[in-house]
Structure 1
Amino acid sequence: MATVNTPTAAPLETNHALVIHGAQSCHWEPVPMPVPEEHQVLLRVAYVGICGSDLHYYRDGANGDFQVREPLIPGHELSATVAEDPTGELRAGTPVTVHPARWGTPQPGLEDAPNLWPGGSYLGSASTWPHTQGALAEFIVVDRTMLRVLPEQLPLRRAVLAEPLAVALHAVEQARSVGAHPETARILVSGVGPIGLLTVAALKAAGAAHITATDVVPQALERAERQGATVCLDVSKDNVPERSYDLVFECSGVDAAIASSTSRALRSGGVHVQVGMVSPTSSPIGLSRVISGEIRIVGAFRFVHEIDDAIRLLESHSAIEDVITHELDPKDPGPLFATAADPRLSGKVIVGVTGTPRP
């Protein structure tokens, strides 16, 4: 039976957050209670998902080139309830999720791709100065334009997946943008961590009938099968059939997997969608096969509007919640991040901030 959101009023006199001070220096500590301006809404955070960027900030004190230079609250995957709306438009207790991006400067030719505009920001990111503080707190304020009100029947626990599911849905749209047809294609999803799992789920919901999942972790492949993968291959033991796939979603960001996709797995005329982030020095693609096979390569970066589609999909497909394997306490960050970093143990790890555990 679906869990119905039944939020209760929240005390507003204290606030705590998980704060990263540097590499493996992280504490649950008091922070100021934010006060919303008229264009903002104060939220009581229920759940926050742990993303790969959060892991890097905790483990390395940096995510790629973005160093933690001041205390940073991580987190950009969240569900919450409204605590205070200065305009009175949203009642206290309204269940919401948040589109974590604020767009930057519009660019000619990219009018429909604000995720590519320079100068934007993203919740829980050290890419800006001052840093853009994230969602892993009891209370946060966000611009009201970032809010998405949730359907009544969508539980807050499942709704925390809206942001990463939107990433997967955007990847599917990127494939369509270059002429691929996921509904009829033979598809390979390379790497089935949380984003790979949600990509499998998004493809299954889109009607894809032939989905092969690959990984080196048997537990991850078991999760992929539950989300709808029709074939699961452990690439530490099994060979991926050559020239067999019309479409590859590469979600691992591992050089060897990227090279295998473009040089071996894709048929001529196939499409490679790069979803997993890679290092700035990564160069695994051999252009000879890209040229001779007319392989099309397209990137997928975050998302634009797909969070609205993700909300609808989560409402209608309750099984996607099974991507969540652990709900942990933010007051003990060591085990929290260690669990999220180990794919043998976990799929998607979420933090119960002020959410009520599912019965």
Structure 2
Amino acid sequence: MKAIVISGKGKINLTDVPDIVEQANQVIFSPKFIGICGSDLHYLADGSVGQSVIREPLIPGHEVSGVIDKSITVNGKKISKGTKITVHPATFGEKQEKIANYPEIWPNGRYLGSAQYLPHTQGGMVERMSVRPDQIRVVPNNVSLKAAALAEPLSVGLHAITLAGGVRDKDVLVSGAGPIGLLAAGGAVTLGAKSVTISDVLDAPLERANKLGVQKAINVTNKKIPSNRFDVILECSGAAPAISTSFKAAALGATIIQVGMMIDKNISVNISSINGKELTYKGSFRFKDEIDQALQILSKNPDIQTVVTQVFKAKDYEKAFAVAKDPKQSAKVLIEM
């Protein structure tokens, strides 16, 4: 069977890999649409993501939708052959009693399409793959397979909203209009935020945000974000200047959730207002079980699927990755297997 494989820095091919062998307690399905994530782009550009270094061929992709290859029963419910599904990509690690409710940060967890451990955890850019039954999520009838590939990245934004204590009737700022920022903004709109403002340094992503129902889109290169204004801030850029701006933009008693990953080095950030405003600043990592909520939101708000800007056939993988790394051209790029 065919798979897209990254074997090191700048090395990617569509190649033959061994077919799936049926195993007990595993579900075989056929991936149809797979999102290209920032981590996939880093694996190709750098051969690594943080401390995760490619040491053997890696099939990327953890944003996966597909169809079940044959009828199965999960938790007493029959899932028929051909049923649309998406996948929770995590295998949670070693349970820690002190953080029992936060399995997403338990040590030694695994994630689809990750080079963190050996053997690497292979991802979804392949014709057939297997996962545990508990990873399977049935897609609502009114959600397409293309839209269902957004469930995983949407879950990242929803997890941040969960950590913030929700957004209903709150003024929300989303800092950074990349795919995660756009999906977080769409999620906040759907979940009843009083207002949603999104910011970026580029016009193209902000134009995409307008399709999601946000009240205001701000290009910070020519307009300032209001100070002391927002109850919840989802900082999705990971950029030091944006983090500093978030503290200034926060209202009294606001919560700032750091969603965007930061480079592991000393940076200059102004958080001086954290005391006088009694702000809460909290990190967010992947997600817990918000993928179920993500599917409900995709079913309720079809505008969110506009975050998908391009779909490329697997044979056009080189162009797909090239377009995905250019935010002026794209938001979320999908591979169709």
Contact residue 70 and residue 131 of structure 1 kept, 8 A: yes
Residues 53-92 of structure 1: matches in 2 within 5 Å?
A: 53-84=39-70, 89-92=78-81
Flag the 1:282–1:232 CA change in 2: closer, same or farther, 3 A.
Answer: farther
Flag the 1:87–1:228 CA change in 2: closer, same or farther, 3 A.
Answer: closer
Cα deviations across residues 224-245 of structure 1 (Å, max 9, x unaligned)? Answer: 1111210111101111112222
Instruction: Give the residue type in structure 1 aligned to 2:164.
Output: A
Aligned partner of 2:131 among 142, 152, 158: 142
Cα deviations across residues 132-190 of structure 1 (Å, max 9, x unaligned)? Answer: 000010111111111112223321111111111111111110100xxxx5222221110
Cα deviations across residues 256-311 of structure 1 (Å, max 9, x unaligned)? Answer: 1111112x211232211111111121544334322232221011111111101111
2-side partners of 1:111 and 1:137: how far apart? Answer: 34
Residues 175-186 of structure 1: matches in 2 within 5 Å?
A: 175-176=164-165, 182-186=167-171
Aligned partner of 2:290 among 282, 300, 306: 306
2-side partners of 1:316 and 1:87: how far apart? Answer: 27
Runs of 4+ in 1 over 6 A off after TM superposition: none
Partner of 1:327: 311
Residues 191-270 of structure 1: matches in 2 within 5 Å?
A: 191-262=176-247, 264-270=248-254
1-side partners of 2:138 and 2:216: how far apart? Answer: 37
Instruction: Give the 3-state SS of the residue equivalent to 1:145 in structure 2.
Output: helix
Instruction: Give the residue type in structure 2 aligned to 1:51.
Output: C
2-side partners of 1:252 and 1:313: how far apart? Answer: 23
Contact residue 38 and residue 87 of structure 1 kept, 8 A: no
1-side partners of 2:271 and 2:235: how far apart? Answer: 17
Aligned partner of 1:159 among 148, 157, 171: 148
Flag the 1:303–1:142 CA change in 2: closer, same or farther, 3 A.
Answer: same
Corresponding residue pairs, total: 334
> Which 5+ residue runs of structure 1 have no aligned equivalent?
1-14, 354-359
Contact residue 88 and residue 135 of structure 2 kept, 8 A: yes
CA RMSD of aligned residues (A): 1.5
Instruction: Give the 3-state SS of the residue equivalent to 1:167 in structure 2.
Output: helix
Query: In the alignment, is residue 109 of structure 1 matched against residue 98 of structure 2?
Result: yes
**Shift in Å, 1:83:** 1.3
2-side partners of 1:184 and 1:320: how far apart? Answer: 20
Contact residue 317 and residue 335 of structure 2 kept, 8 A: no
Q: TM-score, normalised by structure 2?
A: 0.95
1-side partners of 2:141 and 2:192: how far apart? Answer: 26
**Shift in Å, 1:131:** 0.7
> Which 5+ residue runs of structure 2 have no aligned equivalent?
none
Instruction: Give the residue type in structure 2 aligned to 1:298.
Output: K
Contact residue 170 and residue 231 of structure 2 kept, 8 A: yes
2-side partners of 1:252 and 1:104: how far apart? Answer: 27
Instruction: Give the 3-state SS of the residue equivalent to 2:42 in structure 1.
Output: helix
Identity across matched positions, percent: 40
Instruction: Give the 3-state SS of the residue equivalent to 1:163 in structure 2.
Output: helix
Contact residue 201 and residue 228 of structure 1 kept, 8 A: yes
Residues 289-300 of structure 1: matches in 2 within 5 Å?
A: 289-300=273-284
